Structure formats: C-alpha cells, structure tokens
Amino acid sequence: MEYSDTVRDHALQPRNVGFIEGFDGRGESGDFSCGDVAVMTIRVRDGRLAEVKFLVQGCGAAIATCSIATELATGRTVEQAAQLTDEEVAQALGGLPEPKMHCSNLAATALRHAIEDYRRRAKLDLHDWRALYQR
C-alpha cells in the first residue's frame, strides 16, 4: 500500500500522544478483538478544545489518523470539533488507501465520544450546582 508523505510523517512522528490527567471528556473507539483501538481525552476551555491527546493500538494508518485528528480538533469549538468527519481526517492526510479508511473512523469516532462524555459531565455538573443552589 502506498501512503502519502503526511501519513508517513504522522505515523512515524505522531503529535499529541498521551493521556490528559483531569480530562474534561474521554472517548474510545474500536474493538480490542480486532486490534485497533483509540482513546482520546480532551480539555475544554471557553467552549473550545484547548488540548486533545490520544492513545492508540493499531497500525501506522491508525496512529496517523489519530495524530492528525488531534491537530484538526484543537482550537475548534466543541460544536465544530463534534462535526469532524472521517473524510475530513482522511483528506487532511492526503488520502488513505481504501482498506485503511476504517482508521479515519477510529479517530473521528473516539473524538466524538470524548465530546459526548464532556457534554454529559458538563450537564451533570450544572444539575449538581443547581441542586445545591436551590437548597
């Protein structure tokens, strides 16, 4: 399979690898039985993704898609980041071979799950605050 220079760069020198301690949202995607799994953590400040990090178990394409997805998402509003598509991730890498397109799903889905977790946590925090205030 032939990969673009961008895929090779992100696969060999991935950006934003790691886990955010005290994250605002955490999401995962993939299937341990097939071997490709991604975990993304996000930190949100003033309605924007201030920090996005990932851990991944998978091939070079999976690493590259997670790496570029963190770069694409960082700085976007929560709403904008939630709209990041598999196609946008693949396009930012200069394309992926058809058998590896599922890797872009891994990154975008893990990010969306982290945003969903953030929204759920924020809603719980808001409800807890209101309950305390009404006492």
Taken in order of first residue, the domains within the chain and their CATH numbers are 5-133 (3.90.1010.10)
Map residue 42 onto helix, strand or coil: strand
Q: How confident is the model at residue 88 (pLDDT cuts 50, 70, 90)?
A: very high
Q: How confident is the model at residue 32 (pLDDT cuts 50, 70, 90)?
A: confident
Residue 95 identity: G
Cα within 13 Å of Cα(86), Cβ side: 14
- pLDDT tens string 34-73: 678 999 999 999 999 999 999 999 999 999 999 999 999 9
- Distance between CA atoms of 6 and 18, rounded to whole angstroms? 20
Q: Over range 106-125, report the average pLDDT.
A: 92
Residues with active-site annotation: 34, 103
- pLDDT tens string 124-134: 766 555 554 54
- DSSP string for residues in 51-110: EEEEEEES-HHHHHHHHHHHHHHTTSBHHHHHT--HHHHHHHTT---GGGTHHHHHHHHH
